[in-house]
Amino acid sequence: MARSTEQNPEALQKSIDLMDTSPSSTGPDPAVRERVEALRARINHANYLYYVLDAPEISDAAYDAMMRELRALEEAYPELQTPDSPTQRVGSPFLTTFAPVRHRVPMLSLDNAFGADELRAWEERIRRALGASVRQPIEYICELKIDGLSVSLTYEQGQLVQGATRGDGEIGEDVLLNLRTIRSIPTRILPAAPSPSPSMTLPLITPAQHTVPPLIEVRGEVYMTHSEFARINAEMEEKGERTFANPRNAAAGSLRQKDPKVTASRRLEAFFYAVGACEDCQFESQSELLATYAAWGFPTNPNVRVCANLQEVIAFCDEWADRKNTLPYDIDGVVVKVNSFALQRALGAVSRSPRWAIAYKYPAMQVRTRVEDIVVDVGRTGALTPVAILTPVAVGGVVVSRATLHNAGEIARKDVRIGDTVVIQRAGEVIPEVVEVVTEARTGAEVPFQMPSRCPACNTPVVRPEGEAVTRCPNADCPRQVLARLEHFVSRRAMNIEGLGQRHLEQLVQVGLVRDPADLYALRKEQMLPLERMGDRLAEKILQNIEESKTRPLSRLIFALGIRHVGERGAEALAAHFGSMERLSRATVEELALVPDVGEATAESIVAYFASPRHRQMLERLAAAGVRMQNALETPGQAAGTAGPLSGKTVVFTGTLQRFTREEAEALVLQHGGRATGSVSKKTFCVVAGEKAGSKLEKARQLGVPVLTEEEFLQMLEGPGQASSS
């Protein structure tokens, strides 16, 4: 797209004249400095019109002339060059790594709704949480759910100083240099940019609301258009390189390029819609936030709607179910939010998701393909899972060649046979699955499938425990189980040991260097160098990552062990309740069943895991290697839930804590006999308030509940003193 067919001879001539400016021995003339600032402002404004509003006002020739003049002036006067100059969009140094960035405010994930009834159930939960304080219809705002990569931009005094990926919500990766190459992202907030697109049904923004805060985290989504995705894949195919599966993967891969010039060549786009940490911010609603972002120069999606009630929300979702295929980019649903920030604060969050927002997901896309074969995978717990090998087919932009069949009972129920034509579906990141068999397409040549009587990986006779649908290999030394357990242990959500992929783990198992996770911590560089595709630097990096993993929180280690039925949430609950691996290993079924998110079956599985001599020995070796076996603030000898200064009392934490994480704080309460809860009542013993405490702090003061600082809370635990109001 050309910016415009207009020419501006006077501007071009002035640019040519100023390009001849010679540097002065006493520094830049004030007129030169003013000209540099004027050029930057005009170029930034031109970028906003071109990349954000899609409404260019100057020609490409005039734009190029301004860029040439600015580069010439910055070369003549290096002291005038700044990191946020338009000339610095590309040309950053080659990256060697992505440094971790801890988000000031966590980037939460959203719960999902898959129909109007689930939206109504969500609204009922909201009303129960708000109680009698809200009787009138709740105002919502609907936004398209962009299928891209979440990012957070930090601006200080209006200047972009940091850019990070979402990561695990707490810690992301520093990709600032690559984000700078996306021309729709302002490197400096423009407080007097044009008003929002007329298609946005948002409030008008007054000049006072243009004030840029001293610090703000602007959050949104980086994505890739369909046309750019097709262009990149065509180029990669021509070079014989591996193509991307879908636009989202292409956007993520492009943003994590080591060379920012590669990112710049990919033409990524972005929309912004959320705020993290913010100093001196006075936003009253989500619609006001979006309108202000647009006024500041940020690209915001024009397809938003403020809805007076849930019925209007449902109508918006239904409308975009049909319209989504007309967009030049992918969406996978609609994000519905309570519009009022005051109500958002009152609702708060549960676990890792806000109560005040939900993602309305459209039904999974379904296509037909053929089952070419059925093979069996062996998981880390010995479960045998049949997998359909399919004729490759595109589903929602992803080429699918495998789909899970779950278990023998599922195959029998659906009567899936080798050679069948089947309907498969994929929703979001869920593994594709076979929905049904197209029986009318059968020819009679289809072959029924039988689960093997022996493990396909180690030839051990398989078993199917009574009352279970899953067939298992009972051999704990089965090579596929060993490898699967190791893959789980090093995975991102477990111990997060980067560099140890399936290929390297497979080799380490084959040569006998690694049989269980504890062996990883005994690896030496000279042992790793003979592995395929293993160089000196990679070996050092992997060993460094293994060393760093020793400091992961206790909850991550519990999850990494791969105990049957214990997921991430269960691992967090166990870590908070028991505080150490030693106490968890001694817990009885009855004690475990009292822990939130731990049922009887899970409790029995945990007891069985720690009863194994093999597992106990492995844990001893992990401890000897220096892997953290207790919560960071664990008090030696203090058992969870025992008598203490908080015995029988409830404590509520609010705001951003500085001395410890929320998980560590709640574990500390348990260790001193108390219970941590998420809501304030007259029976609450005390509220511990960190920075930017919100509605819970206000409610505590209204009810007369004592409010403590973190220091006062710790002092109370150390001595017999009572809590006092602050």
**Catalytic amino acids?**
145
Is residue 459 packed enough to be buried (19+ CB in 10 Å), middle (13-18) or exposed (0-12)?
exposed
Query: Which stretch of DSSP H or E encloses residue 392?
Result: strand 384-395
| Tokens standing for residue 343 | 């109500």
3-state secondary structure 336-357: EEECEHHHHHHHCEECCEECCE
DSSP 507: H
Please choose, from the candidates 96, 243, 104, 234, the residue with its C-alpha nearest in 3D space to the C-alpha of residue 161: 104
Sort strands 650-654 and 675-677 into parallel, antiparallel or unpaired: parallel
Sort strands 433-437 and 447-448 into parallel, antiparallel or unpaired: unpaired
DSSP 711: H
Helices 226-238 and 247-255, axial angle in degrees (round to 10): 70
DSSP count for the chain of H helices, then E strands:
26, 24
String of DSSP letters for 57-81:
-S-HHHHHHHHHHHHHHHHH-GGG-
The three-class DSSP label of residue 329 is coil
Please choose, from the candidates 545, 552, 655, the residue with its C-alpha nearest in 3D space to the C-alpha of residue 106: 655
| Tokens standing for residue 706 | 């004592």
The three-class DSSP label of residue 644 is coil
Q: CA-CA distance, 129 to 654, in Å (whole number)?
A: 17
| Cβ within 8 Å of residue 516, ≥6 positions away | 482, 485, 486, 614, 618
